[in-house]
Amino acid sequence: MPEKVDMFCYQCSQTAFETGCTVKGVCGKEATVARLQDNLLFSMKGISAYLYHARELGYTDPEVDAFIEKGFYSTLTNVNFDAGEFVKLATESGMMNIKAMQLLKKLTSKLTENLHQ
């Protein structure tokens, strides 16, 4: 039976044995923060997919762009291990995801409308 792993973090160059930290991060990160950072990265991937399509149509949203930058900085620099801060970022991520979806919906509605004219 495989050993239970409380944490698997491979987010930085300090990872144990160059594979990933499984108990506590070499950098000092706790398992909860590693999971919250992973969730934030997954969420930003989804937001980025919507933004990609909006940009293909010539539109951007500066607020969503700024959030993506903040989210990447918060996860990739390994300077913030405050779980509460990552919960706030997760909430903000949800709002930015909705905003990105609404932008794309508005654009596709506009394109559909133009096709019927």
Interval 93-104 mean pLDDT? 94
Residue 48 has a pLDDT of: 95
pTM value > 0.85: no
Positive or negative torsion for Cα 99, 91, 69, 18: negative
9: left (phi over 0), alpha (psi -120 to 50) or beta: beta
Interval 60-86 mean pLDDT? 93
Residue 100 has a pLDDT of: 94
Q: What is the mean pLDDT of the chain?
A: 87
> What are the pLDDT digits (tens) for 12-55?
767 767 777 777 777 888 889 999 999 999 999 999 999 999 99
Interval 94-107 mean pLDDT? 92
Residue 88 has a pLDDT of: 98
Give a three-class secondary structure readout of 63-117: HHHHHHHHHHHHHHCCCCCCHHHHHHHHHHHHHHHHHHHHHHHHHHHHHHHHHCC
